[in-house]
Amino acid sequence: MPLASITRLRVRSIRYLPEFLLRALASVRQARRSSGCLSADVRREVKLIFWTRTLWQDEQAMRAFMTSGAHRAVMPKILNWCDEASVTHWEQDGDHPPDWPTAEARMPTEGRTSRVGSPSPAHRRGETVPPIA
């Protein structure tokens, strides 16, 4: 059964935005070209918040992507660039990714925070989708 992966990142300063966007686009291109990737896209929310949504043939394909190429290179930088980061994965029926409302709704209950170097107060509290201030 395919595996959906959803991430939410908040860039902590506009000064990190150009390189973040460049590296994020490289990661999305890598995902789309990766063996076992059924779908990959990204969207921007307000206030420097970005979401990714990928669908993988299986967990092995997702992990191969995560540990190679552009994605592997950018992951250490997220520690400094972002003050909020969260992720969730689940088995998805069919070969289409979950719609965005479903992805957003599942993150607060099923997501987990990822490590960042300068966490926001909400991130420190374990909120995977803090209210937009």
List the CATH number of the domain containing 56.
3.30.70.100
Q: Which residue range(s) make up the domain with 57?
A: 3-124
d(CA 128, CA 112): 6
pTM: 0.94
Q: What is the pLDDT along the chain (133 residues), one digit of tens a residue?
A: 999 999 999 999 999 999 999 999 999 999 999 999 999 999 999 989 999 999 999 999 999 999 999 999 999 999 999 999 999 999 999 889 999 999 999 999 999 999 999 999 999 999 999 987 6
Please say whether the beta carbons of 132 and 49 come within 8 A: yes
Of 74, 59, 82, nearest in space to 28 by CA: 74
By DSSP bridging, strand 3-11 and strand 49-56 are antiparallel
Instruction: Tell me the longest C-alpha to C-alpha distance in the chain.
Output: 40
Q: Say if 132 falls within a structural domain.
A: no
How many structural domains comprise the chain?
1
Q: Say if 47 falls within a structural domain.
A: yes
Q: Say if 131 falls within a structural domain.
A: no
Q: Say if 129 falls within a structural domain.
A: no
* Predicted pLDDT of residue 77: 97
Q: Say if 130 falls within a structural domain.
A: no
